[in-house]
Amino acid sequence: MSAPTKTHPELSAVFNKDEERVNWHDETLWWIRQKRDKSANSIPEWEVLREKASQIKSNALSNLAGYLVSFEEKAKANGIIVHWAADAQEHNQIVHQILQKHGIRQLVKSKSMLTEECHLNEYLEKQGLEVIDSDLGERIVQLAKEPPSHIVLPCIHKKKEEIGDLFHQYLGVAAGTSDPQILTEAARVHLRETFLTRKAALTGVNFAIAETGEFVVCTNEGNADMGAHLADVHIACMGIEKIIPKRKHLGVFLRLLARSATGQPITTYSSHFKKPRAGQEMHLVLVDNGRTIQMGREDFRASLKCIRCGACMNTCPVYRRSGGHSYHNAISGPIGAILAPNLDREKYADLPFASTLCGSCTNVCPVKIDIHQQLYKWRQVIVQEGYATSAKKMSMKIMNYTLSSPGVYRTAGKAGRWVLKYIPFAVNNHFNPWYKQRDMPEVPKESFGEWYKKNVK
């Protein structure tokens, strides 16, 4: 597996060169966190609801094979064509084959983090097909030739002036336009034309119901519905962990999803697709891509409960100040940092370390994934599997030797405060990252141990 060209610390250092922009990014996301708080606080039973959601997901995961079989059976009876994909490549091939069968070369796609994970757009474009993302934020990053920086708010890192420039270049909007109302209207006109002319639409899936074989797609813009209801072929793609047992469980999840994501009481549309409309072909692709492996890792299994609300990103003080792209993975933020190492430990070795383990992510998670505990556990796995850099390994060994023997500790302490050399905030004494922007603590005349010896014993 390939190592990334740049790591999270490097990419966030670049992001932090423009402090004003970091402030803006941080404040924007904090505002969404505050909306989430307000919304959650309007539900007195919020914490019970989170617990129920978590337990329903525990049940769903513990019987996932059974639920998938039941879902497939019902979905087929409903007239949906069900496909299974072991990995990203197979998923992309399935989608491609469906389009080929119908001689379709243009696809309109609503938000699906799974297709980002599988890099479907790149794949189809290489085969000469055209994909247009219809979620406004996704369309914007697509025009900018960037990946989304956030799973719910794909272009949260972009300023309206930059979006205006893109729309000027690609959609013919007057130069210098930055009014969100005008820009949104331009996108509406452009994408309506797209919806009306595409024969195939691809959507994601928020929830799939084992009991009925239906699946639910949530959007605010209505883009999933516009695409699906106008197209001859509807392809829905989902990770296998999206299954919930019963229809009534949607009551729990739909109360949590939008409130956690943006503070809205519910998304504008929660569409339940059960059967294709007359004359339409409906496909559903069930994708593994590492999920069955994660299921086998007891410490990390709960990460499969994720309903992709993005609350952990909005609350994460690191995410807010480093931007989604610094995570160099389709899913960024704390949840991305516990999902990514499952797929590639070497490439994503840096991500579990991109956290102070403050625990805020765990507290906002609507399905109560112990995100910060999993970050800690991934660190242990990554080090034990040998992906920690050798420099870090050396300093840790020296530190451990010093700290585990009081004799050495005292001597080192006296001999100019060994801590200055080896404690984490000053690990690298050649080029001390602490001192670049922070002063060192003043060295007192005596340590506590010395004071105690003199004054107490």
By CB under 8 A, what part of segment 257-276 binds another protein? 262, 264-275
Q: Which is nearer to another protein, 81 or 403 (CB)?
A: 403
Number of chain positions touching another protein (CB under 8 A): 170
Closest approach, Cβ 226 to another protein, in A, equals 5
Give the integer Cα–Cα distance in Å for 236 and 168.
Answer: 32
Tell me whether residue 130 or residue 446 sits nearer to another protein (CB atom). Answer: 446
Dist CA 56 CA 254 (whole Å): 13
Q: C-beta of 255: minimal distance to another protein in Å? A: 5
Q: Which of these ranges, 96-104, 112-120, 329-337, 421-429, lies near another protein under the rule CB under 8 A?
A: 421-429
Identify the residue among 5, 103, 442, 454 touching another protein (CB under 8 A).
442
Is 452 an interacting residue with respect to another protein (CB under 8 A)?
A: yes
Report the site for another protein in 219-238 (rule: CB under 8 A).
220-223, 225-226, 229-230
Through-space distance between the first and last CA atoms of the chain, rounded to whole angstroms: 58
The minimum distance between CB 101 and another protein, in angstroms, equals 19
Work out the number of other CB atoms within 10 angstroms of the CB of residue 195. 20
* Binding residue for another protein, selected from 68, 129, 237, 307, defined by CB under 8 A: 68
Beta carbon of residue 401, minimum distance to another protein (angstroms, whole number): 9
Tell me the DSSP string of 73-100: HHHHHTTPEEEEESSHHHHHHHHHHHHH
Among 354, 367, 369, 371, binds another protein (CB under 8 A): 354
Distance CA(290)–CA(346), nearest Å, equals: 15
Is residue 140 involved in binding another protein (CB under 8 A)?
yes
What angle (nearest 5°) sits at the alpha carbon of residue 287, between those of residues 284 and 291?
A: 150
Identity of the residue, 128 or 424, whose beta carbon is nearer to another protein in the bound complex: 424
Sign of CA dihedral 156, 159, 162, 168: positive
- What 3-state DSSP class applies to 388? coil
Cα 318 to chain centroid distance, Å, stands at 14
* The pair of three-digit structure tokens given for residue 330, joined into one six-digit string: 């389709």
Question: Which CA distances in Å does 345 have to 2, 30, 378?
Answer: 10, 30, 9
Instruction: Work out which of 114, 252, 340, 371 binds another protein, going by CB under 8 A.
Output: 252
* Cα gap 94→32, rounded to integer Å: 37
Neighbours of 67 (CB within 10 A): 22
- In angstroms, give the least distance from the CB of 135 to another protein: 7
Contact track, another protein, 295-334, x by CB under 8 A: xx-x--x-------------x-xx--xx------------
Decide if residue 170 touches another protein (CB under 8 A).
no
Asked if 277 is part of the footprint of another protein (rule: CB under 8 A), the reply reads yes
Closest by alpha carbon to 114, among 421, 331, 335?
Answer: 331
Identify residues 371-410 at the interface with another protein (CB under 8 A): 376, 379-384, 388, 392, 396-397, 399-400, 402-406, 409
Residue 336: how many other CB atoms lie within 10 Å: 25
What SS3 class is residue 188? Answer: helix
367 binds another protein (CB under 8 A): no
Among 132, 143, 331, 427, binds another protein (CB under 8 A): 427
* 181 scored as a contact of another protein (CB under 8 A): yes
Q: Considering only residues 105 through 124, tell me which ones interact with another protein, judged by CB under 8 A.
A: none
Return the number of the residue (128 or 409) whose C-beta is nearest another protein: 409
Q: 21: which 2 tokens?
A: 């922009």
* Dihedral sign, Cα of residue 289, residue 293, residue 297, residue 298: positive
- Report helix, strand or coil for 194: helix
Q: Does 209 bind another protein (CB under 8 A)?
A: no
Q: For residue 302, which of 259, 264, 335, 271 has the smallest C-alpha distance?
A: 335
Q: Is residue 416 within the footprint of another protein (CB under 8 A)?
A: no
102 binds another protein (CB under 8 A): no
Nearer to another protein, 55 or 119 (CB): 55
Q: Is 217 helix (H, G, I), strand (E, B) or coil?
A: strand
Minimal distance in Å, beta carbon 147 to another protein?
Answer: 15
Q: How far apart are CA 30 and CA 7, in angstroms?
A: 25
279 counts as binding another protein under rule CB under 8 A: yes
Distance CA 344, CA 50 (A): 30
Least distance (Å) between residue 126 CB and another protein = 22
In the complex with another protein, which residue's Cβ is closer, 109 or 128?
A: 109
Q: Does residue 207 belong to the site contacting another protein (CB under 8 A)?
A: no
